Amino acid sequence: MTDAARRHEAAPETAPETELATHRVENQPGPPPAVDLWTTDTALRETLVAAGGRGEVVAEAGALFGSERLRNAGEEARRHPPELRLFDRAGRRLDEVAFHPGYHEVLSAGLAAGYAEVAWDGAPGGHATHAAMVYLLSQVEPAICCPLTMTYAAVPALNATPETAALWSPKLTSRDYDPSVAPVAAKRGATMGMAMTEKQGGSDVRANTTTAERDGDIYRLTGHKWFCSAPMSDGFLTLAQTDNGLSCFLVPRWLDDGRNAIRIQRLKAKLGNIANASSEIEYHGARATLLGEEGRGVATIIEMVHHTRLDTAMAPAGLMRAALTEVKHWISGRRTFQKRLIDQPLMRAVVADLVLDWEGALALGMRAARAFDGATPEERSLARITVALAKYMSNKRAPQVIVEAMECLGGMGYVDDTPMPMLYREAPLNSIWEGSGNVICLDILRTLARDKGAGEALRAELQAATGADRRYDAALEAHLARWPGLPDEAEARWFAESLAGLLAGSVLLRTGHAAVADGWIATRLEGARGLIPGSVSGLDTEALLARL
């Protein structure tokens, strides 16, 4: 629905006509009303408490993000995608991207709520609080989460060079959005992007060919980057080759004396993520600051990647929640064969099954966030393995959940008058970003092989739920019997899927709703189901639908 249509809907004196020349419009639910995303989400409130997050902070964000004003801004940002402006009318280079005001409004709201700041303010539960914001904003405008996520995640990577962190970190954690053209020292707040990937290597960043040459106290970078997210950021973390190997650099977009030598080649024409201006760029002797040591680039930038993975683990839960919110509204207001859709047994079975995927993703992502907040070596090890498992499983489930949710709306689910096509286009992205499925599964194997603490912490997490449900105990025993050690590489996906399902079951048994935990164990661990969503029996559909 357009912004104008929403305004008409809200104004009774100009409401759309129901009595038309050829028919009466009925049995056609309108758009769901704007709602407070915090007060209407019992599952989020419960998981946030279990994760140690700050409810009062997330409550403010939920009211803001769910407002009609911000939803309209996000929709307009998608309807009017970013435009590349390489030159001015005289032929001078601009290398700028122009955004609709809606983009700036959503980005500003995210920063003002503390999306990039709360994890670093020193108060307890910072990462859990941040993760909840990712979940909430992903329901409204997921593309604009990208620059916000990178801004949040850059902070720990900057700590490799304290003097650089002293300049940049206060700007990145500011709640002020400052899109002005100025060097970072002159700004109220700043955003950070990332440029790692090159054509020839993809995930194999050690194959990068961009070079960095020493020039006094700085470096000059030359090369091409196949993907640069959010090219209007104030700086970019990037990888380049020095004489000592692949190294990590911070490349500012603006210098004290003007524009840095960063050239935008084109904007990517993508399946989704429309409001975000993903791009190809080139460095033409761009000035840069080394982060960490030469030759240690991967070790430095992996801190940023580790934290962006938390967001890619939380976003699919938000996308699933948004799709199910549309479903609940539609099936509650639509009648067929003399019954409301929500009262049809088969529809109830389908939606209840989808609720399990959403709640499992939410519980698993928030458990990972809680581990990010942990101060012990065990929790830090657990954070790395849980975030990989959550990212893998939840993103593999999200597209199927959203496809089924579209089908619940019938033809309406396939048209852009609803948000369902947008959610469908977004669904694959977080599985690809920051390590696609195979990369993540191999990383899980490497983590368990190299970090004994990760394996021990994960084992303790799984064992913590034993004794509560015999079916869970049997599933855990079957997993350990099938894989007494690490699997062969070819079985990495099966192994990761099994571990992620068990971990979600453990979390739900200990902190989740009883009907959700029972349904998860019966269908995801015990295997009492078919292959297609809704191919289930025996679920407490009343309790599961009430979770929406």
Q: Output the pLDDT for position 15.
A: 80
Measure the CA–CA gap between 35 and 548, rounded to whole angstroms: 13
The token duo for 421 is 């096509």
pTM above 0.85, yes or no: yes
Strand intervals (E) in 13-92: 83-87
Instruction: Give 33's DSSP letter.
Output: P
Q: Going from the N-terminus, what domains does the chain have, and what CATH number goes with each?
A: 42-180 (1.10.540), 192-297 (2.40.110.20), 299-546 (1.20.140.10)
Q: Output the pLDDT for position 4.
A: 42
Q: Output the pLDDT for position 13.
A: 54
Q: Which residues contact 330 (CB under 8 A, 6 or more apart)?
A: 29, 341, 408, 409, 412
Q: What is the pLDDT of residues 501-527, one digit of tens each?
A: 999 999 999 999 999 999 999 999 999
Which phi and psi angles does 538 have, rounded to 5°? 85, 5
Transcribe 513-548 into DSSP letters: -HHHHHHHIIIIIS--B-SSTT-B-S--HHHHHHT-
Contact 324, 397 (CB under 8 A): no
Q: Which residues contact 480 (CB under 8 A, 6 or more apart)?
A: none
Measure the CA–CA gap between 325 and 44, rounded to whole angstroms: 14
Closest to 442 measured CA to CA, from 481, 486, 378: 486
Three-state SS annotation for 124-184: CCHHHHHHHHHHHHCCCCHHHHHHHHHHHHHHHHHCCCHHHHHHHHHHHCCCCCCCCCCCH
- Sign of the CA dihedral 406, 409, 414, 416? negative
Q: Output the pLDDT for position 387.
A: 98
Q: Output the pLDDT for position 62.
A: 98
SS3 assignment, position 278: coil
Low-confidence ranges of the chain (pLDDT < 50): 1-5, 7-12
Angle between the 377-408 and 452-463 helix axes, to the nearest 10 degrees?
A: 60
